Amino acid sequence: MTEVPNPHIVDADTLTGEMRPIRRIVLSIGSNLGDRLANLQGAVAALVDTPDVWVTAVSPVYETDPVDSPEDAEQFLNAVVLADTTLSAVRVLDRALAIEDAYARERSDVTNAPRTLDVDVILVGDRISEDPALILPHPRAHERAFVLRPWADIEPGAEIPGHGPILALLEKTGEEGVARRDDLVLEVE
């Protein structure tokens, strides 16, 4: 059976006759400057408030050692957010960047410089993209325990296309420098 757009709803997709499929998105959020927990909570709240995005799960919070960062970088708080969306991958990226900007994220030439907020797009459905503006799946997620560990807590059967099951990837990367913080909780409101 083929789905057709609702003729009573007028939007760009209806006008072109295109359907906007619902896709699962995986976002990694992190902060190592300022009020780290408040920054992560703000990111979750901003995602919840995003039209056409439905947050379905938020992982526990982890405190993690900085990876490939300057020597004086402080520890990060990290979490993973799962959501369903009808937004395109580019619109998801635009929203992630806007949320970072709202939390005064400063962009730098220094690789993995400290930041108030980082919102990385890990997956958008099964979309594969080599576009330098948005590589999907995220090019280093499969080797980052600070992404894999919290993600495994809320979706242990997940896989990264081209890399395999996240639990197998986590076993390969190890969990050194990644500590669950049960005293810190992100609310989905």
Distance CA 40, CA 48 (A): 12
Residues 57-85, mean pLDDT to the nearest whole number? 90
Say which CATH superfamily domain 20-180 falls into: 7,8-Dihydro-6-hydroxymethylpterin-pyrophosphokinase HPPK (3.30.70.560)
The pLDDT tens digits for 109-141 are: 656 667 889 999 999 999 999 999 999 999 999
- Note the pTM of the prediction, 2 decimals: 0.87
User: Looking at the predicted structure, is the pLDDT value of residue 143 above 70?
Assistant: yes
- Using an 8 Å Cβ cutoff, are 157 and 117 in contact? no
Taking residues 17-29, what's their average pLDDT? 86
Mean model confidence pLDDT for the chain: 88
- Residue located via tokens 């669950």: 180
Q: Are 29 and 81 in contact (CB under 8 A)?
A: yes
Task: Supply the DSSP string of 108-131, one letter for each residue.
Answer: -SSTT---S-EEEEEEETT--EEE
Per-residue pLDDT of 144-170, as tens digits, reads 999 999 999 999 999 999 999 999 999
Where do the structural domains in the chain lie, given as residue ranges? 20-180
For 36-80, the DSSP string reads: HHHHHHHHHHHHHTSTTEEEEEEPPPEEE--SS--TTPPPEEEEE
CA dist list (Å): 16 to 11, 62, 85, 91, 109: 9, 44, 19, 18, 41
Token pair 């989905």: residue: 188
